[in-house]
Structure 1
Amino acid sequence: MKLLQDGELNIDVAFLGVPCSDEFGNANGTHGRSCCGSLGYAMVDAHFARRVVLLTEELVPFPNMPASLMQDQVDYIVQVDSVGDPAKISVGAARVTSNPRELMIARYAADVIEHSGYFRAGFSMQTGSGAAATACTRFMEEKMERSGVKARFALGGITGSLVDLHEKGLIEKLLDTQCFDGQAAASLARNPNHVEISTNVYANPGSKAASCDQLDVAILSALEIDVDFNVNVITGSDGVMRGASGGHCDVAAAANLTIVVAPLLRSRIPTVVKRVTTRLTPGESIDVLVTDHGIAVNPARPEIRARLIAAGMNIVDIDALYARAISLSGIPKPIEFTDKIVGVIRYRDGRVIDTVRQVKE
């Protein structure tokens, strides 16, 4: 967002897939047979692009309201046979897990929230799209009902689990920049307090007000986290780029309590490492790491550590988690890179904080 606002990046043409549109270009993601939910990312593309082309499978009578993308932003509308399969939305980033290890991590994360000092009436949360992060929402339901605590809002990518809590009266409002499953998309169409927001409203530090600045608790995932709590969500254990970061670094910096959930090992590859391959979110933004082998608290948050120890939780130093990971897996062979830079990591304020280099063949 900041690079677009500053003019450093320019979008010549934005091709935006939408389930339905009228002939003027009023479009939304909540109606049509390929309903996908929030168009929070497309809103920003439509705002900044020199030309906007909508790809839609369904032309409906004017005016198609409510509209996420408005007619004065759109240059062309192209009708296509299909814009995609909404049933596959939750196959990617978001998925419901039955994996015992991920459920264990999710339960630990919910316990951390409960005893952190931020679990109180009117708290706010973001629980992310990873399997353990999504499962954590389910465990939070039990704690909220037992204690009578209701959340003021949930933010970010919205899942069916968050919708369930909203419809049970445990979360007052959902601020949705991206629907992570069909249940969330359907909720956006029918629930007046499930509100679509753009990524600018969600987490842009250059906007007049970013919603993430109101967050109490955020649960985020990681491909790697190092002993300084720096997080990598960009490159895999082979050094190849695996996905986008979304609002990871924005939410981590803004929330009062940022929890990373990750297994100690993935397929014999350590998740806790000496130094991350690619630094996306600086360690000073991460407060707690929850793994299946223990919970590490950033030394910068001694009050959180004290509360969790008082609650009887298994608190360990992150160096001990790293040592445990290496004892189980051995030290992985270093990835060999060329000098060619194939990606640049820009922090939320525009600074370059890392680069991605080409993996040597």
Structure 2
Amino acid sequence: MSTKILYNLESLYEEIDIFEHKNISFHHHLRNGDFVLNMVLKKYLEMDVKELNLFPSSIFPTYTTILDLIKNDQINNITTNYLNGPVAEYISKNGLIGKLKMQTHGGRARSIIEGNNNIDIAYIAAPYVDKLGNAVGYKGKNACGSLGYAIADSKYAKIKILITDTLVEEVDNPEIDGANIDYIIVVDSIGDSNGIVSGTTQVTKNPVGVKIARYTSELINELGYIKNGFSFQSGAGGVSLKATEYIGEIMRKNNVIASFFSGGITKYHVDMLEEGLVEKLYDVQCFDLDAVRSISKNKNHIPISASIYANPNDEKMVIKDLDCVILGAAEIDYDFNVNVTSSSHQMLMGGSGGHSDTATEAKLTIIVSPLIKARIPVIKDRVMTITTLGKNVDCLVTERGIAINENRKDLIEKLKNSKLKIYTIKELANIAHNYTGIPKQLKKESKIIGMVEDRTYDIIDYIYKA
């Protein structure tokens, strides 16, 4: 079938039966600037389509129509990689008719490709589309950058729909292949690309964060990772970006050029590419508009699919060659299990994204966090929800010192003469307890409302009602 061009959703629903096709997906590259998810789901709300199963790659605060559908008993199950905002709060307190499944970025791509996430209709916000259905995300009036999370949906859903506000005659080097697309819907606006930007994507100036970042860069350097050809990933959080800045200083001093940076890309990574400090950026998601613009002008800023990024069954998987990754934590426990899914009160507030994927593959996985957050120690006896298994985590860096996973005896040996403050994780916890006392461990509620699925398809933890 050739790709059909329509100009409103009403015309689409004359073509397809949404009462029959109830497993539907969306991507989140426009983040809080996305209009498409609410635009589509309002039609499902109006038409009272029941027993929906949603597969959005992430859920942001602006996705309020999901909450309307849940309250109207129209959604059974949700499978996603990350969620926060009103939807997360409601599910935490009330659950779903069915269950919430939290996957990783690589796990989601794998599940779609292998048929475990069986998607009937993929609704894909596409900023720049030609009349054959070829599309890229880094052009158009609401460009969002790489479309990495939507690629699997565009290939493997039963019905693939691009929703765009910029239709052109031809797209060069498409991320999405028009041969796979069934419908194009042209609308006035798919969103506001300014909503991509988060307040966290700025280098920290907080003295505690700066100290953590400094320790992190010194640790990586002492362990011998900052050398020609090394590969690296940092998140878009302020501490991670400050650590990246310090690593850049070490690279300049020692004339080091990295082979690649991967994951979500920001201005700071782009600056290092343009300076010649790194050869390539492998971009599954742009975190700011500088990164969006960079893909158009820098040939070595390469958009990739979530499968190529982190699917363990993809032979091209980028992160299998990742030397070092810096990640955050809401909580970490004595076994180095990390929680970025829920608060200590069991309120959903995030999810793995690429956290578990990269921790599993990187040669060195570093967690960065203040030792005490809001007068509560970050180190627990046992985290509330395991997002990333401790066997895949190597180091915790705080402003008070560094803990090394006792399973990494090679790292402990390398650091035996270090001037860095090295402790066991229990010693670090005791330092925190000297200030806070020993906090009471909250008991989990008995009702399970969801699960955390590793990219291996193993369930590594359950999510309980708050």
Q: With structure 2 as the length reference, what TM-score do the two structures score?
A: 0.74
Distance 1:343 1:332 in 2: 26
- Quote the residue 1:219 is aligned against: 326
Corresponding residue for residue 207 of structure 1: 314
Alpha-carbon separation, structure 1, partners of 2:150 and 2:137? 10
Instruction: State the partner residue of 2:449.
Output: 342
Cα separation, 2, equivalents of 1:342 and 1:48: 28
Instruction: Give the one of 36, 50, 58 matched to 2:166.
Output: 58
Partner-residue secondary structure (3-state), 2:197: helix
CA contact (8 A) 1:105 1:262 kept: yes
2:382 is aligned with what amino acid?
R
Pick closer, same or farther for the CA change 1:90–1:105 going to 2, 3 Å. farther
User: Once structures 1 and 2 are overlaid, which stretch shifts more, 165-174 or 67-76?
Assistant: 67-76
Name the residue aligned to 2:134: 26
Contact kept, 8 Å, 1:159 with 1:180, in 2: the verdict is yes
Counterpart code for 2:155: H
Which residue of the partner structure matches residue 227 of structure 2? 120
**Equivalent pair of 2:113/2:152 in contact (CA under 8 Å):** no
Counterparts of 2:200 and 2:117, CA distance in 1: 26
Secondary structure of the 2:465 match is: strand
Letter in 2 for 1:193: N
- Aligned partners of 2:280, 2:451: CA distance in 1, in Å? 36
Query: Aligned letter for 2:409?
Result: P
Q: Residue 326 of structure 1 corresponds to which residue in structure 2?
A: 433
Shift of 1:184: 1.1
State the TM-score, normalized to the length of structure 1: 0.94
Choose between structure 1 and 2 for higher RCO, CA contacts under 8 A separated by at least 6 residues: 2
Q: Which amino acid is 1:356 matched to?
A: I
Q: CA offset at residue 137 of structure 1? A: 1.0
* Structure 1 stretches lacking a partner, 5+ long: none
Equivalent of 2:407, from 286, 294, 300?
300
Whole-angstrom CA distance in 1 between matches of 2:144 and 2:335: 38
Shift of 1:238: 2.1
5 Å matches for 1:228-307?
Answer: 228-307=335-414
Q: Is the 8 A contact 1:237 1:269 kept in 2?
A: no
Write the distance in 2 (CA, Å) between the matches of 1:244 and 1:80. 31
Runs of 4+ in 1 over 3 A off after TM superposition: 92-96, 330-338
CA contact (8 A) 1:93 1:180 kept: no
Alpha-carbon offset, residue 333 of structure 1: 4.4
Task: Give 1:134 deviation, angstroms.
Answer: 1.6
Q: 1:325 to 1:84 in 2, by over 3 A?
A: farther
* More displaced stretch, 321-330 vs 25-34: 321-330
1:166-202 per-residue CA deviation (whole Å, 9 max, x = no partner) reads: 1111101111111111111111111001111111001
> How many residues align structurally?
358
The SS at the match of 2:406 is: coil
**Equivalent residue of 1:78, what SS?**
strand
Residue deviations 1:274-310 (CA, integer Å, cap 9, x gap): 1111112111111111111111111122232233343
Equivalent residue, structure 1, for 2:305: 198
Of 177, 183, 188 in structure 2, the residue corresponding to residue 76 of structure 1 is 183
**CA displacement at 1:122 relative to structure 2:** 0.7
Alignment pair present for 1:186 and 2:293: yes
Task: Work out whether residues 239 and 335 of structure 1, in 8 Å CA contact, stay in contact via their aligned partners in 2.
Answer: no
User: Which moves more between the two structures, 241-250 or 4-13?
Assistant: 4-13
Preserved CA contact (<8 Å) 2:352 2:388: no
Shift of residue 253, structure 1, vs aligned partner = 1.3
- Judged with a 3 Å threshold, the aligned counterparts in structure 2 of structure 1 residues 345 and 39 are, in CA distance, closer, same or farther, namely same
Cα distance in structure 2, aligned partners of 1:13 and 1:340:
31
The equivalent position to 2:210 in structure 1, one of 71, 79, 103, is 103
SS at match of 2:208: helix
Q: Distance in 1 between matches of 2:193 and 2:219?
A: 34
| Residue 83 of structure 1: how far off its partner (Å) | 2.3
Q: Identify the match of residue 154 of structure 1 among 244, 258, 261.
A: 261
**Superposed displacement of residue 320, structure 1:** 1.3
How has the CA–CA distance of structure 1 residues 48 and 329 changed in structure 2, closer, same or farther, with 3 Å as cutoff?
farther
Identity of aligned residues (%): 41
Determine if the alignment matches structure 1 residue 316 to structure 2 residue 423.
yes
| 2:280 is the alignment partner of 1:173 | yes
Aligned partner letter, 2:128: C
Separation in structure 1 between the aligned mates of residue 343 and residue 218 of structure 2, nearest angstrom:
29
More displaced 10-residue stretch of structure 1: 254-263 or 329-338: 329-338
Partner of 1:45: 153
Counterpart Cα distance in 2 of 1:214 and 1:235: 30
| Whole-Å separation in 2 of the counterparts to 1:309 and 1:50 | 56
Give ranges in structure 2 of 5+ residues lacking alignment.
1-108
